[in-house]
Structure 1
Amino acid sequence: MKGFGTFILIVGVCWLVFALSMDVSVSTGLGRVNNLGLMADRQLHAIVGGMIALAGLIMLIFGGRAAAPAASVPAVNDTRPCPLCAETIKLAAVKCKHCGADVEPTARYVPATGWTIRIPCRPGMEFDATQKIVSDEGLPCAHPDGAVVVIGPYEEKAEAVEALKHIRVNHSIFGELSYKD
């Protein structure tokens, strides 16, 4: 958005310079006189160029931020919700940085051997709702991995695919298959 804003700003400024450099006089037998039609055209072009430049400036100032590099984005599997305030904290945290509550550190759970379905969720209400749907459907539910609901393990890939299709069709929940040795 900022790149487009810069482009629009440059176009607007060029248009404004063009408008202000227009010659509005015409030659007559007695010399040069100003033409009201040309003066109106110059005024119109100056207004349009100024508005385009203003729009570009607004886009440049308030445009969206560029995407953060992948290294600065925290890993979802390394976090969990705080039991008191539901804000995201690290698995190994002993104190919540948001509410200051003392919490028990949690080791990262490694799923059992077999095919699993991993459903990434936001910590808090979305995670709890997804976990409840999975348990209400009677699907085998492994320990959650951070903010990921893990269904399985299944010995056969076909069983995991059928479970994935079932939750996708009936609840519009999307996950991915993975295999763990």
Structure 2
Amino acid sequence: MKNFGICLMIAGVIWGVYAFNMKTSIETEGRTVGNGTYSLYVPGQNIHNLDLAARKQNHLLGAGVTVIAGVILLGFGSLQKTSKSSDESATKQTSKYDNIYTKAIVILISIAATAWFYEKFVKP
């Protein structure tokens, strides 16, 4: 769980860097409106696009949630202690399988949550 938390944190930071570098403005081309004496040249401009800004915000939110999930998994993974009791073999077997199932469940939940978030907020 500790390693998966670290991977989630790294993925969240990379996603955050990508989100911070997203463009939120579009360029318009300059053009001439009208003909003859009364024609007017409209220069090209940068226009702030609210849709692109909302997408950037959603990506940043997703990256933040991913980093926080990674921190939580890292914290809970650090709390696990190895037990050295007399029935070490029995506890190792159960903890080994419990740990595998726990990791699989956490991975499936993370994938499902990320897919839901993408479908709900990021996908146009």
* TM-score band, normalised by shorter chain: 0.5 to 0.7
1:66-77 correspondence runs (5 A): 67=82, 73-76=84-87
Larger radius of gyration: 1
TM-score of the two chains, using structure 1 as the length reference: 0.37
| 1:65 positional shift | 2.0
Query: Following TM superposition, where does structure 1 have runs of at least 4 consecutive aligned residues deviating by more than 4 angstroms?
Result: none
What SS class does the counterpart of residue 5 from structure 2 fall into?
helix
1:15-164 correspondence runs (5 A): 15-29=15-29, 30-63=44-77, 64-65=79-80, 67=82, 73-76=84-87
- Percent of aligned positions that are identical: 36
TM-superposition CA deviations, 1:103-124 (whole Å, max 9, x none): xxxxxxxxxxxxxxxxx9xxxx
| 1:33 positional shift | 1.4
What SS class does the counterpart of residue 26 from structure 2 fall into?
strand
Looking at secondary structure, tell me which structure has more strand per residue: 1
**1: distance between equivalents of 2:21 and 2:71?**
22
What SS class does the counterpart of residue 26 from structure 1 fall into?
strand
**2: distance between equivalents of 1:61 and 1:42?**
29
- How many corresponding residue pairs? 73
Greater relative CO (CA pairs within 8 A, separation 6+): 2
**2: distance between equivalents of 1:16 and 1:66?**
32
| 1:62 positional shift | 1.9
TM-superposition CA deviations, 1:50-84 (whole Å, max 9, x none): 0010000111112252535xxxx2435xxxxxxxx
**2: distance between equivalents of 1:74 and 1:57?**
30
What SS class does the counterpart of residue 33 from structure 1 fall into?
strand
- Unmatched segments (≥5 aa) in structure 1: 77-119, 121-181
Looking at secondary structure, tell me which structure has more helix per residue: 2
TM-score of the two chains, using structure 2 as the length reference: 0.53
| 1:34 positional shift | 1.2
RMSD, aligned CA: 1.9
- Unmatched segments (≥5 aa) in structure 2: 30-43, 91-124
